[in-house]
């Protein structure tokens, strides 16, 4: 096939105007140079010297008693993590110097004053998207200096009318806004630095529970504060109540009790991790499993008509919650017969958990669901390789589980990132795999 060259009268015109040609070439060179520079830019998280974050609080609401923190995925989304506490400056702004992150992926964050009730919002009092750091030209920091990123908080969540009453799951007096029936159940204790904690689990009861008189299987979900209710400062919730209600009423799954166990805040990683996957963690996963066995499960079984035994007891979670769920089901097959494992952080610390889970001696639960998004590490171009690694890791785990004789399902969410809306969208397939009528 012969391609015919199209006439370009503008070029003919330019041949009579050499100055215009020079200007055009210069402009093209500038564009090409700009593209080249953009391609050379990197995420500041990759710089070995770290970076500096500065934020202005024009309303001057923050104070020494209520300092500004960075709530970030690199700090377990703890809104008051001491490692991300900012320091006041003489000009009224707040600053923090951060070392190069040890966690993979792009840093996402919001500014808080120590809790999600005091997270930053927009002018209308609405939640904002997670912040990210812009790319930088690394050649500008060859001397070891740190890039500085400046932000400004428009308004805080507790500045809007009625904000003091908005306590979400932490408020043990407010009504639970869920689909169906849910009740709070006080739990004492925990693991590691959370041993002395008191927290309220949310126990969701299936349709017909009050009148049936029968016992039900139980699904224990980690990070329970986001299972039924969206907490301030978070991108969403699991919608477990809506999804389970719909599938039960449609006859697609058997009814079950769902217990959402809130994490312990700053000690979340302590309880969920069996190894020091991030700096400063005191791994207490085995102690946490013991707390589930000796405190949580007996408490639930006394308060509700719950079936017992591994064939009727499942555990699930996402991210670090996915790690502890699979780890617990492996360590204690006498307690948990099935596991929902969403977006497990298996690549942290050079893939330590991946080597454990993929090992030939790993004890897979009888039933396991594995979920992952195609964009776990984010949507930026430089996250593509890490995203591919996460997907391949979950595919390998599914293969290992199948070889071990487990009834396994895997779901790769196209375009899904590492957050609650993604886990909510995949939750129906997870519980259908565990509780489907056709299984």
Q: What pLDDT is recorded for position 4?
A: 31
Report the pLDDT averaged over residues 15-21: 46
Please state at what angle helix 240-249 crosses helix 420-435, rounded to 10 degrees. 30
**Residues 6 or more apart in contact with residue 350 via CB below 8 angstroms:** none
Nearest to 373 by CA among 339, 342, 408: 342
pLDDT at 297 over 90: yes
Q: What is the DSSP string of 232-274?
A: TTSS----HHHHHHHHHHTTSB---EEEE----GGGHHHHH-S
- Alpha carbon distance 76, 269 (integer Å): 7
pLDDT digits (tens, 9 = 90+) for 252-280: 999 999 999 999 887 898 999 999 887 77
- Residue 403 Ramachandran class (φ > 0 left, ψ -120 to 50 alpha, else beta): alpha
Listed in sequence order, the DSSP H helices in 136-190 are none
pLDDT at 12: 37
Give, to the nearest 10 degrees, the angle between helix 384-403 and helix 348-357: 20
Contact 346, 357 (CB under 8 A): yes
| CATH superfamily ID and name for 167-435 | Alpha/Beta hydrolase fold, catalytic domain (3.40.50.1820)
CATH architecture observed for domain 44-164:
Sandwich (2.60)
CATH 2.60.40 occupies which residues in the chain?
44-164
DSSP 8-state assignment for residue 192: G
Q: How far apart are CA 194 and CA 293, in angstroms?
A: 16
In the chain, the percentage of residues whose pLDDT exceeds 90 is 69
Q: Six-digit token pair at 93?
A: 């702004």
The β-bridge relationship of strands 338-342 and 313-318 is: parallel
Q: Over the stretch 73-122, which tens digit does the pLDDT of each residue have?
A: 888 788 888 889 999 988 889 999 999 988 777 899 999 998 888 899 99
Report residue 196's pLDDT band, with 50, 70 and 90 as the boundaries: confident
Which residue ranges does the chain devote to CATH 3.40.50.1820?
167-435
Average pLDDT for 160-189: 69
């Amino acid at each position: 096939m012969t391609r015919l060259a199209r006439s370009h009268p503008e070029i003919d015109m330019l041949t009579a105007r050499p100055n215009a040609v020079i200007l055009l070439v210069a402009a093209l060179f500038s564009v090409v140079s700009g593209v080249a520079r953009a391609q050379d830019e990197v995420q500041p998280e990759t710089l070995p010297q770290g970076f500096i974050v500065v934020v202005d609080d024009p309303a001057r609401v923050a104070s020494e008693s209520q300092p500004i923190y960075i709530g970030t995925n690199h700090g377990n989304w703890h809104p008051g993590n001491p490692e991300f506490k900012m320091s006041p400056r003489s000009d009224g702004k707040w600053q923090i110097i951060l070392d190069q992150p040890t966690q993979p992926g792009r840093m996402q964050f919001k500014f808080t004053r120590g809790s999600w009730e005091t997270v930053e919002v927009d002018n209308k009092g609405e939640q904002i998207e997670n912040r990210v750091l812009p790319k930088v030209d690394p050649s500008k920091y060859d001397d070891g200096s740190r890039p500085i990123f400046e932000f400004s908080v428009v308004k805080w969540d507790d500045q809007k009318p009625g904000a003091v009453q908005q306590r979400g799951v932490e408020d043990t007096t407010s009504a639970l806004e869920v689909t169906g029936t849910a009740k709070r159940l006080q739990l004492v204790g925990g693991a590691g630095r959370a041993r002395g904690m008191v927290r309220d689990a949310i126990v969701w009861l299936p349709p017909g529970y009050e009148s049936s008189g029968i016992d039900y299987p139980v699904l224990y979900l980690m990070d329970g504060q986001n299972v039924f209710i969206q907490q301030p400062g978070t991108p969403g919730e699991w919608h477990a109540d809506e999804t389970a209600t719909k599938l039960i009423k449609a006859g697609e799954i058997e009814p079950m009790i769902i217990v959402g166990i809130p994490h312990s805040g700053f000690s979340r990683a302590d309880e969920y991790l069996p190894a020091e996957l991030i700096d400063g963690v005191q791994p207490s996963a085995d102690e946490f499993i013991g707390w589930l066995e000796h405190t949580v499960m007996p408490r639930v079984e006394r308060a509700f008509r719950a079936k017992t035994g591994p064939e009727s007891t499942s555990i699930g979670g996402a991210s670090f919650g996915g790690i502890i769920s699979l780890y617990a089901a492996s360590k204690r097959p006498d307690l948990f017969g099935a596991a929902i494992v969403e977006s497990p952080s298996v690549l942290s610390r050079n893939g330590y958990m991946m080597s454990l889970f993929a090992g030939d001696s790993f004890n897979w639960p009888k039933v396991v669901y594995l979920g992952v998004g195609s964009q776990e590490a984010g949507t930026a171009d430089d996250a593509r390789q890490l995203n591919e690694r996460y997907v391949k890791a979950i595919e390998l785990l599914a293969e290992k589980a199948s070889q071990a004789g487990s009834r396994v399902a895997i779901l790769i969410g196209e375009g899904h990132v590492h957050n609650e809306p993604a886990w909510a969208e995949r939750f129906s397939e997870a519980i259908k795999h565990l509780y489907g009528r056709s299984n």
